[in-house]
């Protein structure tokens, strides 16, 4: 058992070495987001214009604590959305490349000369998508949040406002980070059938994996419609393309609660992102587990292709 874990650690480490975008992407996003925050602060200082209404609101001494807390949570969440978007691209392109690059540069012959099974290798690539990419993204989120809060603190200090009280005592960091981490790990699990499909294509395609991955999922729903006049497959595919339909919360309800009209009500309570996530609903969802099984089938197919097809 410990051998299996050691192998997986070494294999996942190898993926991070090879696919440097796994940590460069969140680092770049953190850099850009922080740069924008600095620019916003400088703009406010230079022109006296309020670029970021959240910062204005936070600095308002008359604001109730609950609302300040909520405003900070909304600010952090807005910041996090950029990371989620980047992670989506990362997941898609990583899975598409994971079992393709080693065949393109023929390094597969070296990897296969070591006592590691094809199943171990394919599973390490899946684990990289489901664990390493969300964790690297989470690290980027944490760094960016801290940097942004520090910049806000410096700005508030120059305005004569006490940042300890207005930011650090108010910001629901732990709650937000826990919620973000759950979301980031749940996202690839929800997208698992798509990621499994991409891993299979990356093991199978002799060239042009992107085209070979996209064409079937673009064409098959139309075939279904022509033959059966139904859109089941199309709807299933669209659902798994991103996190919007994830059965962990109702994103529309979520957005509605933060709508300008309702904002006051929400902000009056002690807002908690974590309390808006329903982990039980996610873990007991039939759709989630059905997706995991579909992913398992695709990954098994990828293992078989790597194991039994001789294309060196």
Residues 105-134 that bind other proteins (CB under 8 A): 105-110, 112-117
Q: Under the criterion CB under 8 A, does residue 286 sit at the interface with other proteins?
A: no
CA–CA gap between residue 296 and residue 62 (Å, rounded): 54
Q: Which is nearer to other proteins, 253 or 310 (CB)?
A: 310
Task: Candidates 5-13, 29-37, 51-59, 186-194: pick the segment binding other proteins (CB under 8 A).
Answer: 5-13
Task: Candidates 68-76, 104-112, 171-179, 265-273: pick the segment binding other proteins (CB under 8 A).
Answer: 104-112
CA–CA gap between residue 182 and residue 281 (Å, rounded): 13
Residue whose token pair is 């603190």: 153
Number of residues in contact with other proteins, rule: CB under 8 A?
A: 25
For residue 63, the 8-state DSSP code is S
Residue 234 contacts residue 221 (beta carbons within 8 Å): yes
Q: Which is nearer to other proteins, 7 or 145 (CB)?
A: 7
Q: Under the criterion CB under 8 A, does residue 102 sit at the interface with other proteins?
A: yes
The CB-of-15 to other proteins minimum distance in angstroms stands at 11
Q: Which is nearer to other proteins, 108 or 122 (CB)?
A: 108
The CB-of-21 to other proteins minimum distance in angstroms stands at 12
Residues 12-31 that bind other proteins (CB under 8 A): 13-14, 17-18
Residue 168 contacts residue 73 (beta carbons within 8 Å): no
CA–CA gap between residue 226 and residue 283 (Å, rounded): 35
CA–CA gap between residue 25 and residue 43 (Å, rounded): 27
Task: Candidates 8-16, 30-38, 232-240, 251-259: pick the segment binding other proteins (CB under 8 A).
Answer: 8-16
Residue 58 contacts residue 152 (beta carbons within 8 Å): yes
Q: Under the criterion CB under 8 A, does residue 5 sit at the interface with other proteins?
A: no
Residue 50 contacts residue 158 (beta carbons within 8 Å): no
Distance of CA 253 to the CA centre of its chain: 21
Residues 234-273 that bind other proteins (CB under 8 A): none
Helix, strand or coil, per DSSP, at residue 131: helix
- Residues forming contacts to other proteins in the complex (CB under 8 A) are 6-7, 9-11, 13-14, 17-18, 102, 105-110, 112-117, 308, 310, 312
């Amino acid at each position: 058992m410990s051998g299996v874990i050691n192998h997986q650690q070494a294999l996942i480490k190898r993926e991070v070495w090879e696919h440097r975008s796994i940590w460069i992407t969140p680092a770049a996003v953190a850099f850009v987001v922080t740069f924008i925050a600095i620019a916003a602060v400088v703009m406010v200082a230079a022109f006296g214009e309020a670029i970021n209404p959240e910062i204005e609101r936070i600095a308002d001494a008359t604001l109730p604590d609950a609302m300040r807390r909520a405003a900070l949570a909304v600010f952090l969440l807005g910041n996090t959305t950029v990371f989620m978007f980047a992670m989506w691209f990362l997941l898609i392109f990583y899975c598409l490349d994971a079992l393709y690059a080693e065949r393109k540069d023929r390094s597969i012959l070296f990897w296969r000369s070591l006592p590691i099974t094809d199943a171990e290798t394919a599973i390490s690539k899946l684990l990289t998508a489901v664990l390493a990419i969300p964790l690297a993204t989470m690290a980027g989120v944490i760094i960016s949040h801290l940097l942004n809060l520090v910049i806000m603190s410096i700005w508030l200090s120059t305005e004569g406002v006490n940042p300890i009280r207005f930011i650090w005592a108010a910001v629901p960091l732990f709650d937000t980070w826990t919620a973000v981490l759950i979301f980031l790990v749940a996202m690839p699990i929800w997208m698992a059938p798509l990621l499994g499909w991409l891993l299979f294509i990356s093991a199978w395609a002799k060239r042009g994996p992107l085209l070979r991955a996209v064409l079937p999922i673009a064409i098959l729903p139309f075939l279904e419609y022509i033959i059966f006049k139904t859109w089941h497959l199309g709807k299933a595919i669209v659902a798994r393309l991103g996190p919007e339909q994830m059965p962990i919360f109702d994103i529309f309800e979520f957005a509605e609660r933060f709508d300008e009209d309702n904002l006051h009500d929400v902000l009056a309570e002690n807002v908690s992102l974590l309390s808006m996530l329903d982990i039980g609903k996610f873990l007991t969802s039939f759709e989630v587990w059905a997706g995991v099984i579909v992913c398992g089938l695709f990954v098994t197919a990828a293992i078989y292709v790597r194991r039994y097809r001789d294309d060196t």
